Structure 1
C-alpha cells in the first residue's frame, strides 16, 4: 500500500476528489480545480500523452465542453493509500451522449498530483468488446 502523508487518509483523499468534481460541475470552469491541483500535476491519457497542470487546464477550457450542469452518477469511489479510483457515468447537459469514465487519482500533500482517465461513450461500448473474441 502507498505511503500517506501524516495529514491525509484515504477518506480525506476521497473527499478531495469529490470536492474537485463538485467544483468543476458547479462552475463549469476548469480553473475551479486549480487550487486542488499540485503545481507538478500530470494528466495522463490512454494514448500515452500527458499534460501539465497549465496544459490540462487550457485544454479543458479550449474544448468548450459544457461542464456546468453535467449529470454525474458515481458508481464506485474507492481509496487505497494515496490513490482514489472513481467509476462514473456522465451525461452532458441537453442531449449529449452518456459516457462511462474511469479516473485514477494520485494525491499528495492534500492536492491532486496525477490523474489517469479513460472515457468511453456508452453507446459504443459493444464495439470494444470484440478485441478479445476469436475470429
Structure 2
C-alpha cells in the first residue's frame, strides 16, 4: 500500500507541477477532500482547486524542486523547495497527504521562507533559551 500511495502522489504532482493541469490533478482528489493550513483554516476540494487555479497566474514560472517523497501507510510526505517568479523569495514546503481508497483525501501544508529558516532553528537550542 505504501508504494502504491507514493506512486499515486508522484503521478498527481507530475500533473500539477509538470503540466500545470489543475483538472488532471483534481481527478486524484476525493470528493470529500480537505486542505489544512497551519493557521487552522481548511478548504474543500472545490475551494482549494479554485485557489490553486487563481494562484497559477501570479505564480507562473515558479520553480519547484521536489527534495523528498516519503510514504508510510496511507500518508505521503513531500518536501520541496520553491523559487517564486520574478526574483521572489525561496520557500520550503512540506505537504503531508493522506490517501484513502486510491484518492488523496487530505493535505496538510507547511510553508516557510527559506531566509527565515536559521532564525526558526533556535527554539530547540538550550543556549538560546
- TM above 0.5, one fold? yes
User: How many pairs are equivalent?
Assistant: 125
CA distance in 2: counterparts of 1:42 and 1:95, whole angstroms: 31
1:47/1:125 CA distance change after superposition, 3 Å: same
User: Given the two structures, how large is their TM-score scaled by the length of structure 2?
Assistant: 0.84
User: Given the two structures, how large is their TM-score scaled by the length of structure 1?
Assistant: 0.81
Q: Is residue 59 from structure 1 mapped to residue 55 from structure 2 by the alignment? A: no
1:82/1:65 CA distance change after superposition, 3 Å: farther
Q: What root-mean-square deviation, in Å, do the aligned CA atoms of Structure 1 and Structure 2 show?
A: 1.9
Q: Is residue 72 from structure 1 mapped to residue 64 from structure 2 by the alignment? A: yes
In structure 1, stretches of 5+ residues that fail to align are 1-8
Note the 1:1-135 alignment, pairs <5 A: 9-63=1-55, 64-67=57-60, 69-132=61-124, 133-134=128-129
Q: CA deviation at 1:29?
A: 4.0
1:66/1:96 CA distance change after superposition, 3 Å: same
Larger RCO (alpha carbons 8 Å, 6+ apart):
1
